[in-house]
Structure 1
């Protein structure tokens, strides 16, 4: 590896820490963290699913794809952030996994560090993947891997709370009607909405649907549209529609507030579906509305299946077979059901909705969703995101107006 490539990898190790403070559900560390096994008949797969142990459906799928490709699989599972750092260090040592499944915002960081091969290099067919989901794995006009599934944000609502307040959910179509619904809910003695505005990537993740729903762009944090989005959140706090606790809320604590049964709405993700079923009240889901109507673009969570650069290029053909197996329609349907993900192809999404009608609003939300590193932002995103969450914190705490907070954020990014 030449000197400039090593410098890129070292810089990427620092960058990836910020990016991987992801908004998707976190996992605990896995026990097996051994490096790649030797031998042409063994291929290594690293994934961020330590919750799935040996003998699980996921582990059996990996072994099955290995059998189909004529090789043995050595699987290692890491925590999401740990996996990204391990991948960068392994690349420095020319000891990368054959297949790497990684959180989608990290793909561009690994790609720019020279860790990943392109789909063109390895003839991976991504033609069926929804373009908005595939964009999260694109950098510099090239595609690095294919998504295994996606999750995103939407609005959960408590049917009983809205009924008591006389709100018809079909009337909630834009920011004005959503705010009006909260006013009725407060008048009826309940609470409007809860969300996470914590000063981390999680806060940016939750703010993005409103930011993008205003028509704002991440390259212009201080635009009038961006100011309108932050002003909306500030108005909700000032009116008492949202609690001051949102400033410190994670998505988990925000969900706990909604689960109390006092709130009309909660912004949260597909990973809360199982908890929603246990909440003890009837709920529904609608995509986050745009400022003037329609579905706002929410950020995508979920992983990409990628093929890292290898010193032995003869391994690529088998790695391609493994990735193609893991992401074929039949296996996507099974895997995404297990992970509570929406599939990355229309074909499988239709099958998911046919099997469970409750997934329809989530499929709609994913269709409108957008990758955080899309628009070719790549490694610029972490810095933009950090300034965004700082602006949100500043405005909601009252230390600066939304306009001034976002103005300072844009100056810092520049």
Structure 2
């Protein structure tokens, strides 16, 4: 695909995002350089959202190693996650895209619909071993744009000491009814029930989604009876004192800090807290979030996709494909996902992770049940739906509206 084709494909979505990008980058200190190419010298550019890893890190060395195997030199630039998608859109407009772009999975559909990314059919990337539920986060219009490098998701951490003191057998917690009953026992025993993040941002939607999806609701119908039941569950916990009013302003970080105090039985949080859990000073366990009537609820996936942006020089795709294949190979995924605290996107590497660390088993189960926020072909519709969702959660939990009225208003705003 030539640059002129890409210019025609850049949609209104891209132009809007580019306007945001200009204002955002104007005041940014910026850690990155341009994606200038050096085809004669065999230089290929990779952009990633991991500024925490410097040139001497295992991650940077892996990039260089993959470049060596492909016979090229790697020029890597790391951006903050929020800055990366804007930079990618601007670069595409200027025909100056990176050869390989590693980007947060909800952004993939935005870039794809903007005409920034090639499909896996275009670049001959093999995704056959990737779990289909994880791959779906990078699909739009029936096409796949890249492959996940790993995934994280949400589950319930629990404090074994608090539950034992309250006479709660964790094996009994299998659905919403039994979880709520456990919270009641914990409160009666003088401890605190559950903490989570219901803040009025994407974090709030991210944490509400397992309960929303676990009710059987779909994002295309926010005000369905199932969706209302999920919000009513959260509101009921606050009304009964099973969850603190602080959840309305909690981020996932402050919610974790509450759990780390040792007073709470449960906390909804992610794989990224595993290292902190080991330092908490009490015995903990992890339970996949239960669905309303049992089973594991679908929690949203976090993590990045490795993609190949559209290039004016289509001859670059073959080497870019080699780089992506190297980065996401079975051999390299295990080390990379261990570094990033991710669950691997393939069953083969997941099994290896669990064999090495049994504590990862519930997380693998949670990831296998997980779902991309932009799945179901929502694509760029998701951000608007999410915004109305978190506003409804805030309204209901604060008591401003009933769960039913809050979600009815949200659905009306989405339409």
Q: Which category describes the TM-score, using the shorter chain as reference length?
A: over 0.9
Residues 143-175 of structure 1, C-alpha deviations (whole Å, 9 max, x = no match): 000000000000000000000000000000000
- Provide the C-alpha distance between the structure 2 equivalents of 1:12 and 1:125, rounded to a whole number of angstroms: 30
Distance change in 2, residues 1:347/1:385 (3 Å): same
Match of 1:26 in 2: none
Residues 344-378 of structure 1, C-alpha deviations (whole Å, 9 max, x = no match): 00000000000000000000000000000000000
Match of 1:20 in 2: none
Q: Secondary structure at the match of 1:100?
A: strand
Match of 2:33 in 1: 34
Residues 228-285 of structure 1, C-alpha deviations (whole Å, 9 max, x = no match): 0000000000000000000000000000000000000000000000000000000000
Q: Secondary structure at the match of 1:193?
A: strand
Give the drift of 1:39.
Answer: 1.4
- Provide the C-alpha distance between the structure 2 equivalents of 1:11 and 1:79, rounded to a whole number of angstroms: 20
Distance change in 2, residues 1:48/1:352 (3 Å): same
Match of 2:271 in 1: 270
Match of 1:5 in 2: 10
Give the drift of 1:7.
Answer: 3.9
Residues 151-170 of structure 1: pairs in structure 2 closer than 5 A: 151-170=152-171
Match of 1:98 in 2: 99
Match of 1:140 in 2: 141
Is the CA contact 2:21–2:87 (under 8 Å) kept in the aligned structure 1?
Answer: no
Residues 50-99 of structure 1, C-alpha deviations (whole Å, 9 max, x = no match): 00000100000000000000000000000001001000000000000000
Unaligned runs of 5+ in 2: 23-27
Match of 2:53 in 1: 52
- Provide the C-alpha distance between the structure 1 equivalents of 2:248 and 2:359, rounded to a whole number of angstroms: 30
Give the drift of 1:32.
Answer: 3.9
Is the CA contact 2:330–2:349 (under 8 Å) kept in the aligned structure 1?
Answer: yes
Q: Secondary structure at the match of 1:135?
A: helix
Is the CA contact 1:197–1:207 (under 8 Å) kept in the aligned structure 2?
Answer: yes
Is the CA contact 1:129–1:345 (under 8 Å) kept in the aligned structure 2?
Answer: yes
Corresponding pairs, count: 403
Match of 1:369 in 2: 370
Is the CA contact 1:37–1:74 (under 8 Å) kept in the aligned structure 2?
Answer: no
Question: Which of 67-76 and 35-44 deviates more?
Answer: 35-44
Distance change in 2, residues 1:251/1:46 (3 Å): same
Residues 115-158 of structure 1, C-alpha deviations (whole Å, 9 max, x = no match): 00000001100000000000000000000000000000000000
Distance change in 2, residues 1:132/1:34 (3 Å): same
TM-score (norm 1): 0.95
Match of 2:118 in 1: 117
- Provide the C-alpha distance between the structure 2 equivalents of 1:352 and 1:185, rounded to a whole number of angstroms: 33
Match of 2:84 in 1: 83
Q: Secondary structure at the match of 2:77?
A: strand
- Provide the C-alpha distance between the structure 2 equivalents of 1:8 and 1:205, rounded to a whole number of angstroms: 23
Query: Is the counterpart of residue 343 in structure 1 residue 340 in structure 2?
Result: no
Give the drift of 1:15.
Answer: 8.2
- Provide the C-alpha distance between the structure 2 equivalents of 1:165 and 1:6, rounded to a whole number of angstroms: 57
Match of 2:218 in 1: 217
- Provide the C-alpha distance between the structure 1 equivalents of 2:15 and 2:37, rounded to a whole number of angstroms: 26
Aligned-residue RMSD, C-alpha: 1.4
TM-score (norm 2): 0.95
Match of 1:188 in 2: 189
- Provide the C-alpha distance between the structure 1 equivalents of 2:128 and 2:82, rounded to a whole number of angstroms: 29
Match of 2:69 in 1: 68
